[in-house]
Structure 1
Amino acid sequence: MIQEKKAWMMNGFIGILFVALLLAGTVFSFIQQQFLLGGICLILAVTLGSGITLVQPNQSIVVIFLGKYMGTIRREGIVVTIPFSVRRTISLRVRNFNSNRLKVNDVNGNPIEIAAVIVFKVVDAAKAVFDVDKYEQFVEIQSETAIRAVATKYPYDTFENVELTLRGNAEEVSNELTEELQDRLKVAGVEVIEARLTHLAYSTEIAQAMLQRQQASAIISARKQIVDGAVGMVQDAIERIEKEGIVDLDDERRVAMINNLLVAIVSDHGTQPVINTGSLYQ
């Protein structure tokens, strides 16, 4: 694997000055009919001028001479580097990649649609040029592969709160996706800054059925929590009544009170109390 190194270079303005002097020497030599000296000055001017290149901020130039990697230029501005070399410009700016909506199966085998946005930048221009072919396409393919790999590890959703889910633990899933991507893209000299899910849903063919399942699971989970709370409230109420001696309850009255309290607490609708005022002939 190629490691990035600095290429030979010099200040571009000094190089331009030398080129201008050599061209002036060429003109003067031709005027004086010293064609050999003028030809040498012209060749030197063209040779030095072929190495002049412009580097913009957050860009790097990979220098290749006769098929050999000579180094990378990161210094912005006008510079002079190896003459007649091939120079490839690689952007070091932060970029976004929005993946396509992928259809995968979660850990439970349910088909889901998932997509993510990947924020990345090139940190090693030599690897981006020589270790992979078309690093932008490499980033896209590896990003989709990583999204599929992470999506198959977790269920879409669960109401038991006993495991990580794609829907309920977005932060943890995003962190794992970032780590997965970094492992895959480091060979291309790419640093993954962030990876976030932008779309997550059940596939259309099962969306309605899964919605009904979610609603049923939510109702069951809510009912269980309501019943647990109601039992605790009734138990506390009975214990307090008996402890403070408000009413002397026998087994039959205790059962009746527990039943009435549970109905009042668990009922979906507000309960309507029935007041027994006694009989006229009692």
Structure 2
Amino acid sequence: MKKLVTVSVIALGVLILSALSFAQDSKSKTADPNAPQPSINCLFTFTGGAQNTFLRYCVTDGGNILGLESPQGHFLVPDNREGYGICDEGTGVSYFDYGAFGASSNWGPVNVVSHSAKSVKMTRNTSDGIWTLTQTFTLIAGTTPMVKNVMTLKNNTAASRLAFLLRYADTDIDGDVSNNLDATNESASSWNSVSTPNENATAHGLMLQNVGIARVTHQALAQNTPSGPNPCNPFAVFPQAPLVQVDGSIALIYQAFVGGGTSAIATIGYRGF
């Protein structure tokens, strides 16, 4: 009887290990290889809609957008290579934070002002105290969901200053680094085409657009490089478009004359298509 009990325990152990192994193997086979890797920098994750109206993204502790997914199962900015930049044109000093592509050392920490299930508001000062950037990210649900970001750039000095303010994203649509890109005055887009071999199942895209009536000069940009623009020379990489099957990036550049103690506002939106 003792021998029978021992054999039964061993057999039960083998069955448990086999079940665990099967579960892990099934999980690895069903996991989406294009899904972004977990980031310790992810502070707030926002999710809305389902299937074709699905939108999910994370806002990091640097005020960047990570893992933008829309529609469901399609990752448009899979990694932390998205962000913003400022140039004080009078002094030639640039400030930028492009996530995994690096950040300048002249920033203070990000402060969370408020957050809810659909939005988060953050502020960040430049270390010289000249500028304060306030960002309010909001999930806009609906048939064409959008990440809306209101960027407010405040001049903390008494003197008027001319500045560039920009938003940038390195888009690897569904994990494919080679995409098609183009830009208009109001928006820049990156997408995969149904006519491109091996891409008809991932023929989706991302649009970065100006939202509303901008009271400052602005221009969209499609680059043939994944790197973020130089904030003080944002059109240094300005290739003839459309760009076909390149590892590129998109940006929106605003230029504003900001009076002493006043602010300039730019509202941008990310939409999947």
TM-score normalised over the length of structure 1:
0.24
Q: Which has the higher contact order (CA 8 A, sep 6+)?
A: 2
Greater share of residues in strand: 2
- State which structure, 1 or 2, has the greater radius of gyration over its C-alpha atoms: 1
